[in-house]
Structures are given as structure tokens and as C-alpha cells.
């Protein structure tokens, strides 16, 4: 079947105005052009849709029956087109985000709040997941943007740098070191470590082993929030990313830079290469860049020698 939208619009305009001339004016076409479109539609359907007289053009019985269906078809199509234009204009749509728990708490609330103001018709979802789960979702297309610190990922994954996140020594405020702490001094400290399934723990172990030091944790914790609570209770010091300051109780805890070496991780946004982001995606990426820069400045991540208290 080769019925076209223009044919349906011509038929509806003639039926509404009772005149090929007025229908042509409404559609911005010539009167012969409208006549041709209606004849083509009638030929395609094998039915006469309009009775033509010198005074008025009216639908036949078959035309009247087809009229309601044609109106619905055109209305549905026009509604679908308007909806897609709204999506393209970022007035509507969805975007799925995924981040690990720390970034979900430290960065994403500000991003989502600004997205709600700038893109009020866009429904954003956030899943707080492990790093490997984030990569899996982005690769599968069930998350549009993943945020975190990721090792090199095989496959078609694009990376957008957001900020640097240095490892710091978290201690009770009352016993915070006076200045920067070399990694060599950690050998004599009771350390509260994250468990070995954590990327942070793997990074810490690598630095310690590279300097011939042994990490003998006094306690281990799965969550950064738990490690912070144990430090606040005076049970040891913890090696955590500076981002942890965003959820730490700064009245009880201090974070001191670790040096020799300075170790930092790159926080990035990842997307699936070759797959177009939703129309709101570029705007959300820009919000992520801006809020990550603001967060980094608030944590003084880029200020060597600063004692973050």
C-alpha cells in the first residue's frame, strides 16, 4: 500500500473545508495539486471518498467511514513527530547514569539537581554499582554514561576525563600529622584497609609492595563509609581517595596528602563508542565536567602540600 501522509492531509482538508480551493489555501498547495492527491488516494483505496458538486464537496458514505480513521492516523503521526522533536530539543527523554557509591554520594546529587533544572522534561536515573558492573552496563547499552575510576577497558568504550582524585591519609582530627606523609611512614601505623576486592586496595597494595613495605591492616572494611567511621573511633588511619572528604565528618577527621609518591586516580565518564547518546547526553556530560571541577576545587585535590582539614 502506497498511501502517503500528504494524500491523507489533502483528503482531510477538503472534507473539513468542503472545497478544494480552500483546502489548497490551508495546505499551501495549488488546487490542482490537492485534486491530484485526493484522486491518488481514492485510486489506492479503490473507493470514491468525496462527492463533488458545484456548490460543495462532501464525503461519500465510504469517505465518512474512512474520515475518522484518517484523522486518527494523522493525529497519531503528528503527535509522534512532536514527541521526537521534543526529545531532540531535550524537552523530553530519558538518560541512565551509573556510578560507584562514593561518587554517587559526592558528585551525582549536584549533577542530578542541575539536570533537573536545566532539563526538566528529561528523566534521569542513577544506579550506584561496582566498577565492573558499571562497565558491563555501559557496554550493554543499559547505562548511557558511567562515572568512576576505571582500568583500561577492552572493547568500544569512550572516556571523558572529569577530575583527578589523590590518595590521602585519613586520621582522627586530634592526631592528624602536621604535614605531608611519606608512604614509608605508613609501615609503622595501624591501617584500616579496604578489602582486596576494592580497586583502591589494589592500588595501595601496589604502591606499598613497590617500596618494599608490607601492609598489615589492623582492620578491613568493605565500604569507605565504614572505614571513615572506624578512623573516627580512633582505631587507625585509612588510605582513601580525597573524594571521601565529601562524605566525611570533618569535625572529627582530617585528610593529609600522601607523598613520595603522590598517587592519584583519574575520574572519568565512560560511554559506549559508536552508540549515540540520548539527546540530553552532551548536556549531562557538560554538567558532569562542571560539577567535577567544582568538587575537585572544594577538596583542594590540585593543591600539592595542602593539609585538607
pLDDT recorded at residue 308: 44
pLDDT recorded at residue 305: 44
Alpha-helical segments (H) within 191-271: 199-210, 224-232
pTM over cut 0.75? no
pLDDT recorded at residue 155: 65
Domain ranges of the chain: 5-88, 93-163+265-298, 165-264
pLDDT recorded at residue 75: 79
Q: Which three cell numbers stand for residue 299?
A: 577538596
pLDDT recorded at residue 91: 54
The reply to whether domains 93-163+265-298 and 165-264 share a CATH topology is yes
pLDDT recorded at residue 88: 54
Q: Measured at the alpha carbon of residue 10, what is the angle toward residues 4 and 15, in degrees to the nearest 5?
A: 130
- CATH of segment(s) 165-264: 3.40.190.290
CATH topology of domain 5-88: Arc Repressor Mutant, subunit A (1.10.10)
Q: Measured at the alpha carbon of residue 236, what is the angle toward residues 235 and 241, in degrees to the nearest 5?
A: 125
- CATH of segment(s) 93-163+265-298: 3.40.190.10
In whole angstroms, give the CA distance from residue 117 to residue 114: 5
Mark the ranges of the chain whose per-residue pLDDT is less than 70.
1, 54, 79-92, 153-155, 300-309
Determine how many CB atoms are found less than 10 A away from the CB of residue 191: 22
Q: Which three cell numbers stand for residue 162?
A: 572529569
Find the helix or strand (DSSP H, E) in which 26 lies.
helix 20-27
Instruction: Report strand pairing: 264-272 vs 145-148.
Output: antiparallel
Residue the block writes with cell 554517587: 104
Could you give the maximum distance between any two Cα atoms of the chain, in Å? 105
Instruction: Report strand pairing: 157-172 vs 237-241.
Output: antiparallel
pLDDT recorded at residue 74: 78
pLDDT recorded at residue 82: 67
Find the helix or strand (DSSP H, E) in which 267 lies.
strand 264-272
Peptide bond into 177 cis (omega under 30): no
Amino acid at each position: 500500500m502506497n498511501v502517503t501522509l500528504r494524500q491523507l492531509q489533502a483528503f482531510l482538508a477538503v472534507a473539513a473545508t468542503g472545497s478544494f480551493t480552500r483546502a489548497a489555501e490551508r495546505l499551501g498547495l495549488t488546487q490542482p495539486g490537492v485534486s491530484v492527491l485526493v484522486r491518488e488516494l481514492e485510486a489506492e483505496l479503490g473507493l470514491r471518498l468525496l462527492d463533488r458538486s458545484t456548490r460543495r464537496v462532501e464525503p461519500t458514505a465510504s469517505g465518512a467511514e474512512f474520515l475518522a480513521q484518517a484523522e486518527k492516523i494523522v493525529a497519531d503521526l503528528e503527535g509522534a513527530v512532536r514527541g521526537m522533536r521534543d526529545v531532540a530539543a531535550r524537552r523530553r527523554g530519558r538518560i541512565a547514569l551509573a556510578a560507584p557509591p562514593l561518587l554517587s554520594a559526592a558528585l551525582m546529587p549536584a549533577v542530578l539537581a542541575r539536570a533537573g533544572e536545566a532539563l526538566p522534561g528529561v528523566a534521569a536515573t542513577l544506579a550506584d554499582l561496582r566498577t565492573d558492573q558499571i562497565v558491563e552496563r555501559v557496554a550493554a547499552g543499559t547505562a548511557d554514561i558511567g562515572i568512576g575510576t576505571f582500568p583500561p577497558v577492552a572493547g568500544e568504550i569512550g572516556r571523558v576525563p572529569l577530575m583527578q582524585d589523590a590518595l590521602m591519609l585519613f586520621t582522627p582530627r586530634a592526631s592528624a600529622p602536621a604535614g605531608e606523609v611519606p608512604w614509608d611512614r605508613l609501615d609503622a601505623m595501624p591501617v584500616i584497609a579496604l578489602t582486596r576486592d576494592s580497586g583502591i586496595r589494589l592500588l595501595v597494595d601496589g604502591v606499598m609492595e613497590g617500596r618494599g613495605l608490607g601492609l598489615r591492616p589492623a582492620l578491613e572494611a568493605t565500604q569507605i563509609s565504614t572505614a571513615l567511621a572506624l578512623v573516627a573511633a580512633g582505631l587507625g588511619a585509612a588510605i582513601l581517595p580525597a573524594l571521601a572528604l565529601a562524605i566525611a565528618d570533618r569535625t572529627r577527621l582530617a585528610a593529609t596528602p600522601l607523598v613520595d609518591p603522590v598517587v592519584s586516580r583519574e575520574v572519568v565518564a565512560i560511554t559506549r563508542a559508536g552508540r549515540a547518546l540520548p539527546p540530553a547526553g552532551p548536556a549531562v556530560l557538560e554538567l558532569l565536567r562542571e560539577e567535577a571541577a567544582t568538587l575537585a576545587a572544594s577538596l583542594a585535590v590540585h593543591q600539592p602540600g595542602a593539609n585538607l582539614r
